[in-house]
Amino acid sequence: MIELDVRRVSMSFGGLQALNGVSFSILGNELIGLIGPNGAGKTTLTNVLDGVYKPTGGEVWLNGQRIDGLPPYEIARCGFGRTFQVTRAFRRMTVLKNMLVPAMALHPMARQRDFHDKAMEVLEFLTMEHLVNDYARSLSGGQQKLLELGRLLMLDPDIIILDEPFAGVHPRLMGKIYEYIRVVHEQGKAFIIISHDMDSIFTLSKRLLVLNFGELIADGDPNEVKQDPAVIEAYLGEEEEEEGPVVIPPGRLVAAGETEEESDA
């Protein structure tokens, strides 16, 4: 049983409080959406969970082991997998080698060819088995995204955090990523999906976390969270406000430090 316990986690960069006492827990293979306005602390939370940052306060427990403060590679071996907001495939390595990195990291004494079958299986699931010997840099952006998702499966984590998996993605590829999440979720993995794409979030997630100014302002069933006044004000309300088009006052488009008088002269 997957058990993640985030206890009053805080993270500050100098004077900036990026996370402020965030607490939540995951039990079993939950499918969680994480939303919030830009700068709310979503990516910071991801980085704290996977060890890129050591939190300035609070604790993170995964399956009965305290993981905050461990280096990223150990947290990855404990069962935490993530993708990055910007795709980060190993570009000058072949697709196969990309897939072998996490497998070999988990079993450094094994032989690489022992994992060829598993890698091919994952690639077939992603329908990119014909690209196995191609360099990652020669793949399209979407294929690189899929490769990153496939690489995660080789790590075989318990909890997967997807940071903006739908940003700039073609609808057909979106369907593929949906399928990936569904299938992998059924295999018993928990997901935390960060996205600004509300349709996807409400379609996929069974539970919604909302971050605003580093604080968790809502945690619950997506349909209930949707009605939460605090959430509407902080994030979802934008569409209903109907402010009309933004009017830029004349003269504002002139470059800074250059007044209209000067440009006329």
Partner 1 sequence: MKRSLLQWLIIAVGAVVMLGVPFALGNKPYWLHVAIVAYFYAILASSWALLAGYAGQFSFGHMAFMAVAAYTSGILGRDLGMTPVQSIIIGTLTSAVVGFVIGVLCLRLRSTYLALFTLAFSEILRLALNSELDLTGGPNGLTLELLVDTTSRVPYYYIMLGLLIVSLAFMYWLANSSFGLFFHAIREDEEAAAAMGVNIVRYKIMAFVVTSLIAGLAGAVEAHYIGFITPNILIIAQMSIVVAMAIIGGVESLLGAAIGAIFVQFMLELLREIPMPASIMPTLAQMEGTLEAFGLSVGEHGILTNAWRLVVFGFVLILTLRFYQNGLLYPIIDRLSRRPVLAETVAKRIQATEVES
Amino acid symbol at 117: D
Give the interface segment with partner 1, choosing from 73-81, 196-204, 220-228, 234-242 (CB under 8 A): 73-81
**HSE-up (13 A, CA, CB side) for residue 214:** 16
Residues 122-151 that bind partner 1 (CB under 8 A): 129-130, 132-134, 151
As beta bridge partners, residue 209 has: 34, 219
Nearer to partner 1, 80 or 180 (CB): 80
> Distances in Å between the alpha carbon of 227 and those of 83, 220, 233?
30, 11, 10
Give the interface segment with partner 1, choosing from 91-99, 178-186, 195-203, 217-225 (CB under 8 A): 91-99
Give the interface segment with partner 1, choosing from 56-64, 82-90, 195-203, 256-264 (CB under 8 A): 82-90
Is 52 an interacting residue with respect to partner 1 (CB under 8 A)? yes
As given in the structure block, the two tokens for residue 25 are: 């827990």
Give the interface segment with partner 1, choosing from 14-22, 96-104, 221-229, 247-255 (CB under 8 A): 96-104
Q: Which of 19, 22, 76, 162 binds partner 1 (CB under 8 A)?
A: 76
Q: Which of 93, 167, 174, 236 binds partner 1 (CB under 8 A)?
A: 93
Q: Which of 24, 61, 90, 202 binds partner 1 (CB under 8 A)?
A: 90
Distance, in Å, from the CA atom of 49 to the CA atom of 59, rounded to the nearest integer, reads 10
User: Are the beta carbons of 12 and 18 closer than 8 angstroms?
Assistant: yes
Sign of CA dihedral 128, 134, 136, 137: negative
User: What values do phi and psi take at 55, rounded to 5?
Assistant: -65, 145
Is 172 an interacting residue with respect to partner 1 (CB under 8 A)? no
User: Are the beta carbons of 135 and 94 closer than 8 angstroms?
Assistant: yes
Q: Interface residues with partner 1 (CB under 8 A)?
A: 50-52, 71-73, 76-77, 81-82, 84, 88-93, 97, 100-102, 104-106, 108, 112, 129-130, 132-134, 151, 155
